[in-house]
Amino acid sequence: MQSWRRRKSLWLALSASWLLLVLLGGFSLLRLALPPRPRPGAPQGWPRWLDAELLQSFSQAGELPEDAASPQAPHGGSCNWGACFDTSKCRGDGLKVFVYPASGPISETHHRILASIEGSRFHTFSPAGACLLLLLSLDAQTGECSSMPLQWNRGRNHLVLRLHPAPCPKTFQLGQAMVAEASPTVDSFRPGFDVALPFLPEAHPLRGGAPGQLQQHSPQPGIALLALEEERGGWRTADTGSSACPWDARCEQDPGPGQTQRGETLPNATFCLISGHRPEAASRFLQALQAGCIPVLLSPRWELPFSEVIDWTKAAIVADERLPLQVLAALQEMSPARVLALRQQTQFLWDAYFSSVEKVIHTTLEVIQDRIFGTSAHPSLLWNSPPGALLALSTFSTSPQDFPFYHLQQGSRPEGRFSALIWVGPPGQPPLKLIQAVAGSQHCTQILVLWSNERPLPSSWPETAMPLTVIDGHRKVSDRFLPYSTIRTDAILSLDARSSLSTSEVDFAFVVWQSFPERMVGFLTSSHFWDEAHGGWGYTAERTNEFSMVLTTAAFYHRYYHTLFTHSLPKALRTLADEAPTCVDVLMNFLVAAVTKLPPIKVPYGKQRQEAAPLASRGPGPGPKPQAPAPDCINQIAAAFGHMPLLSSRLRLDPVLFKDPVSVQRKKYRSLEKP
């Protein structure tokens, strides 16, 4: 009996040991399906698979594919950022880019690149004052190849831009030049020096671009689990069982029912399997991002775009193609919360960096500017969280808390003060009553009067409990949105001298803004609409329940939008606002809506003052006759943005007990209901 118990104990111990070994081995295999998180601050390439010994127990002898040849020395030898780029040329004005003129015929893609650079804040026409000299590698379709420029200087402080792999044979040595290339191989890519670009189709739009196609973030019933890119184009979707490996020709199991989608149709699946061997497969990567299909890269041999700054672990999965069963099991067992987070990130990355040629080029230049200013120029949060690094300018701040977008992630709240900026245009009467009403607010910390008319400045101004500063403007409407250094608060109350507000209206609007610091909060509204008769956008200031814009003659917003207005918008749009002053409200609303993807918020405003307010309505009223926006103003701005960012809303926030039949003593903002 005792010997039987010993044998039983030994058998149980051996069984437990084998079970533990299998579990540990299985978990290690599943972890290979998820990419390792890169160390912050260090540029990362994709790992080489070091699991040959582990794989021997799961495959027959001779079945494993041969490993790739040992990596060759990258072009440029030991060139790196510190050794081959002179940052002293970038002091003062920061990154300024000069583009060499083309020596021959150029393609449509080349024209788009030139237009996107010339319209950016980085461009300069002087090679002597440039920090970076950019050479565009001409497309093979033109029949011409780039030649060495006169100011080559062994390639120092040069960037060779190639939007398509190997467009031309190398006609000169790159030397110390950086290379921004579409889908470079991991063997030739120099991390921290070169820039990996996405593979763009020829018809990729210059600006704006198509939005992401993900209509429902959670997987819909009946949606395919997998979409597989095919060598001759298109996608094949399949609902597979746990024992199937549809991308592996050695599998004998039935992969299940499938459906082929030919042409450029975006895949309709949860995961998109993309081969890592063929460079042309990189073109499918952007299709997967746009469709909200999580890219599953099978042992990629090419560098992912902008991998230096984008954390692809939040949007894509790197899998070992030699472990099809384990990878498929990991995909099927992934939690819905993880799938939702990955799909949401694909939509953000597509819209922020890849939806247009302009965004791809500007992202490339932003990566180089971050290297000049150091790793702290754009923390990882700014690159990998909406609205993205292109709309979170490092010239404004390098701290996420200073921007209006990250208070929720940071667990912070905007400060409880605001600055009033009163624009005084013609006829130039000092807004004495408006100053007194704003000065009565408990949240106002300073008042700035922007004097923008031909009359001389008044000699006396009303006394207020807070500082009152008068700024002599340049007689332009766009002066209202310059980033004045005298503004010390995050919140700005933008006012026109002809506006009329009560202290209670100001206080309540500011409290609302504190809960929505990324949005515009205003009193007077207008809306846009599509005019079928004229085939364009229209604009109306009629008072309706639905609106998409608030007038900046009385509105709260974050001071960061002054920096974006001045340094991010094309000069042509700011000139349009100066030539057609009524367009400035439309332009500012376009900017905020494009950044936030949210509509503005309306707060209550006195009916009598609303009828008399300038630029508020086309109806009759005791005030001056309002000016209508320029007929084609909204269409010109929409064309410059490349899309229509405005969103309509019916939300109006009122105080608690607003117009309720209760005692006035119980109401906090009592004067809001006075006639």
Catalytic residues, by residue number, are 585
Strand partners, 132: 97
CB 593 within 8 A of CB 616: no
Dihedral of the alpha carbons of 410, 412, 413, 415, in degrees to the nearest 10: -110
Distances (CA, A) of 166 to 118, 136, 181: 25, 13, 9
DSSP string, 167-183: -S---S--TT-EEEEES
State the helix-helix crossing angle for 633-641 and 571-579, rounded to 10 degrees. Answer: 170
Nearest 10 degrees: CA dihedral of 400, 404, 410, 416? Answer: 120
- Number of neighbouring beta carbons within 10 Å of residue 67: 10
Kindly compute the dihedral angle of the four CA atoms of residues 608, 614, 615, 620, in this order, to the nearest 10 degrees. 50
C-beta atoms surrounding 171 within 10 Å: 9
What is the DSSP-derived secondary structure letter of residue 421?
E
Q: Where are the beta strands (DSSP E) in 257-416?
A: 258-261, 269-275, 294-298, 317-319
CA angle 345-351-352, nearest 5°?
85
Residue 359 φ/ψ region, left for φ over 0, alpha for ψ in the -120 to 50 degree band, beta for the rest: alpha
Element (DSSP H or E) covering residue 161: strand 158-162
Q: Which helix (H) or strand (E) holds 76?
A: none
DSSP notation for 444-477: EEEEEEEE-SSSPPPS-----SS-EEEEE--S-G
User: Where do we find the tokens 């583009």?
Assistant: 99
Q: In what order do the strands lie in the sheet with 317-319?
A: 258-261, 235-238, 224-229, 269-275, 294-298, 317-319
Q: Are 201 and 216 in contact (CB under 8 A)?
A: no
**What is the Cα 661 distance to its own chain's centre?**
47
Nearest to residue 494, comparing CAs of 443, 557, 439, 544?
A: 557
Instruction: Indicate the DSSP class of residue 210.
Output: P
Cα–Cα dist 114/102, whole Å: 10
Task: Determine phi and psi for 89, rounding to 5 degrees.
Answer: -75, -10
- What six digits make up the tokens of 52? 């040959």
Three-state SS string over 551-580 comes to CCCEEEEECHHHHHHHHCCCHHHHHHHHHC
User: How far apart, in Å, are the Cα atoms of 167 and each of 138, 181, 542, 627?
Assistant: 7, 10, 54, 53
Residues 278, 302 contacting (CB under 8 angstroms): no
Please report the DSSP string for 477-501 in residue order. GGGGGS--TT--SSEEEEEETT---
Give the Cα separation of 670 and 442 in Å (integer): 16
Residue 230 near residue 219 (C-beta atoms within 8 A): no
Q: Which structure tokens are listed for 516?
A: 């929505």
Secondary structure class of 635 (helix, strand, coil): helix
SS3 at position 215? coil
In contact, 624 and 498? CB cutoff 8 Å: yes
